[in-house]
Structure 1
Amino acid sequence: MTAQTILVTGCAGRIGARVARHLLEVGHRVTGFDLCASGIEHPAFREVIGGFDERAAAAEAVRGADAILHLGAFMSWLPTDRDRLFRANVEGTRILLEEAAAVRPARLVFASSGEVYPENMPDYQPLDEDHPLKPRSPYGLTKLIGEEMVRFFERTSGVPATTLRFSHTQDASELLDPGSFFSGPRFFLHPKIRQQEGFGNMEAAAMLRAVDDGTPALVLSRSELGRPFRMHITDTRDMVAGILLALQSENAAGRTYNLGATAPVDFAEALPLMARATGLPLKTVDLPGGGVFYETSNARIRAELGFEPEWTIERMIAEAAAARAGTA
């Protein structure tokens, strides 16, 4: 791939920053676009600070772009954040695409989400790219609208686009960090209590408080019928590899792919590994409702682009344990 100028939105995020740094390392020029500075320092790196819905900033960001990786988004599941969610993910994507159409880059890659599916109420499993799109969260709805805008952009501009439906993504080192935005409330008791209270799920919070003795602990979440949670958790490094394949492969033009780990994580298997790694007690709580339980297929991207994720959950936990031991 000859040297290009590539716009990376969300360059201050865990995925965008890694993608930007890789592109710089292999000789590309990179423009970063995000609300806050990425901290990347490189002679071939240019940065635009601003919201995606700020037209002047979007126009400056796309200037000279040979390819665009629209990886940035605002993520929240709090009702109080919905206006911001739609401004960033819907209006921001619309404005960015309008400015991109005037520049006509050679390629566009758009980061969507597995939440465009009804992940916890699927018509069938594993969820593949042909599964009906029926988001059940406002965040998933913003991503589905984004996908439609990308298809419109592709039809009207003639620029080939690739849509990647992202798995839930983690840096391995975050898995055993109770302060992590994602892993804290997913695996640790006290952050999970605070999360459920923030969501207004007071029945769930009360169930969690019932097993809380005041000391730090991990929590194995199960449905009200006792089924352990199950979902995909993909290492950031595997996500970056998939994004780069989508950017570089001509076969990816016009295609949509699920991007994520091959196998879902069974919490009943993963949490005991985390408990051994941390020495923390493990509490088991049956929460109201059907819980989190889904499997998504990455067969298409593996077959068409040669994507092969390398970081299993066991390997991620082992790395997280080593990182935790190093900071203890």
Structure 2
Amino acid sequence: MTYLITGGAGYIGAHVVRAMTQAGERVVVLDDLSTGDRNRVPEQVPFVLGSTLDRALLDRTIAGHAVTGVVHLAAKKQVGESVELPLHYYKENVQGLQVLLEAIAAGGVRQLVFSSSAAVYGMPDVDLVTEDTPCVPMSPYGETKLVGEWMARAAGRAHGISTACLRYFNVAGAATPELADTGVFNLVPMVFEKLTVGQAPQIFGDDYPTPDGTCVRDYIHVEDLADAHLVAARALAAQSADAAAATDASAAASGTARDLTLNIGRGEGVSVREMVDLIAEVTGHTEIAATVTPRRPGDPARVVAAADAIADELGWTARHDVRAMVTSAWEGWCLHHPEASAAVVPS
């Protein structure tokens, strides 16, 4: 097997590359470096600079590296930006996937792991979000992920491509400090940024119908998330191997492709205030109290995954807790931001 990992120089993508190469899988990375970092990709891993919108480049890459499976992470991912630039998001995320699926089908690739998101659910009014919870995305970003799932499944049925759409929740942490998230778009790095300059982190709203009044989210360690991609890719490969062994080749192509849609989370909710307090403890900045500001529009009170399906289907469960996420993320933040406090991290 050789896997093409699109977006493999990004924060999550680089962790997927690490997980798959450490497991002995052959990979090649394609990334346009619009947000990725070439230094995240190991020297021994082939790297292709370019976009999933470039069909000729995809055809050359798939043929030249004998690609048999694809893990597709390349996408624009900022909810707020997607509201301002919806057509750009549809072009990059939807048209980019369309071109990739055309290249996959033409190149005889039979496995696709698609990076989806809990954003497809919108504002679910349930205690635990299952894969059957209605999808009502609240942003163009979430819409593009849902459309991407539809496209992947439809192409899979038509072309005999086994697909896994992984809907992951709030990602944090780092496998190594070098691979840490350097963007400041999610809660953990946003709090780090404030604490680094001695400012109070913000909590958007404390009047939600939750135990402490702040939003509750499900956090997943990026190392666990990367492992889930590996497990899903191997499950699809095993399915394709079984299909290839079928005596009726046409039936193998049209009737035995696997179709998985799975949440990737821990199934445990953590409130924003709990997370901010834990970050303060880990970083040694307990003297800076968070300030509460008005709610942000569109923030649901609670979004927590039901994580039973992936355990049942693939035998996968998350291994890292929230403290491990924050501790590893802080170590990475300090590496990339030398001005950050050298506070002792509690064991």
Please give the TM-score of this superposition, normalised by the length of structure 2: 0.77
Residue 59 (1) aligns with residue 65 (2): no
SS in 1 for 2:303: coil
Is residue 268–residue 304 contact of structure 2 (8 Å, CA) maintained in 1? Answer: yes
Q: Indicate how the Cα distance of structure 1 residues 285 and 181 shifts in structure 2: closer, same or farther if over 3 A, else same.
A: same
Any unmatched runs of 5+ in structure 1?
Answer: 192-213
What's the CA shift string for 1:138-169, capped at 9, x where partnerless?
10000011011101111110111111112221
Q: Indicate how the Cα distance of structure 1 residues 60 and 110 shifts in structure 2: closer, same or farther if over 3 A, else same.
A: same
Residue 219 (1) aligns with residue 202 (2): yes
Superposition RMSD on alpha carbons, in Å? 2.9
SS in 2 for 1:297: coil
Alignment partner, residue 244 of structure 2:
none
Aligned residues: 299
Aligned to 1:187, which of 177, 188, 191?
Answer: 191
Q: Which amino acid aligns with 1:116?
A: V
Q: Which amino acid aligns with 1:164?
A: L
Identity over aligned pairs, percent: 30
Structure 2: distance between partners of 1:108 and 1:178: 27
Deviation of 1:221 (Å) = 3.3
Is residue 173–residue 326 contact of structure 2 (8 Å, CA) maintained in 1? Answer: no
Structure 1: distance between partners of 2:182 and 2:288: 14
Alignment partner, residue 224 of structure 2:
238
Q: Which amino acid aligns with 1:294?
A: V
Deviation of 1:218 (Å) = 2.2
Deviation of 1:301 (Å) = 0.4
Alignment partner, residue 47 of structure 1:
47
Alignment partner, residue 194 of structure 1:
none
* More relative contact order, 1 or 2 (CA 8 Å, 6+ apart): 2
SS in 2 for 1:282: coil
Alignment partner, residue 254 of structure 1:
259
SS in 2 for 1:255: strand
Alignment partner, residue 196 of structure 1:
none
Alignment partner, residue 315 of structure 1:
324
Q: Indicate how the Cα distance of structure 1 residues 145 and 287 shifts in structure 2: closer, same or farther if over 3 A, else same.
A: same
Structure 1: distance between partners of 2:74 and 2:95: 13
Greater shift, 234-243 or 57-66, is seen at 57-66
Residue 38 (1) aligns with residue 38 (2): yes
Alignment partner, residue 254 of structure 2:
none
Q: Indicate how the Cα distance of structure 1 residues 224 and 8 shifts in structure 2: closer, same or farther if over 3 A, else same.
A: same
Is residue 53–residue 88 contact of structure 1 (8 Å, CA) maintained in 2? Answer: yes
Deviation of 1:179 (Å) = 6.4
Aligned to 2:11, which of 14, 21, 31?
Answer: 14
Residue 24 (1) aligns with residue 41 (2): no
- Structure 1 residue runs of 4+, over 4 Å off? 176-179, 188-191, 223-226, 320-327
Alignment partner, residue 228 of structure 1:
214
Q: Indicate how the Cα distance of structure 1 residues 184 and 81 shifts in structure 2: closer, same or farther if over 3 A, else same.
A: farther
Q: How does 1:1-328 map to 2 (within 5 A)?
A: 4-36=1-33, 38-39=38-39, 40-43=41-44, 45-63=45-63, 64-76=66-78, 77-78=80-81, 79-118=83-122, 121-172=123-174, 180-183=184-187, 186-187=190-191, 215-225=198-208, 227-249=213-235, 250=238, 253-278=258-283, 279=285, 280-288=287-295, 291-292=299-300, 293-320=302-329, 328=342
Is residue 189–residue 219 contact of structure 1 (8 Å, CA) maintained in 2? Answer: no
Structure 1: distance between partners of 2:144 and 2:70: 19
Any unmatched runs of 5+ in structure 2?
Answer: 240-256, 343-347
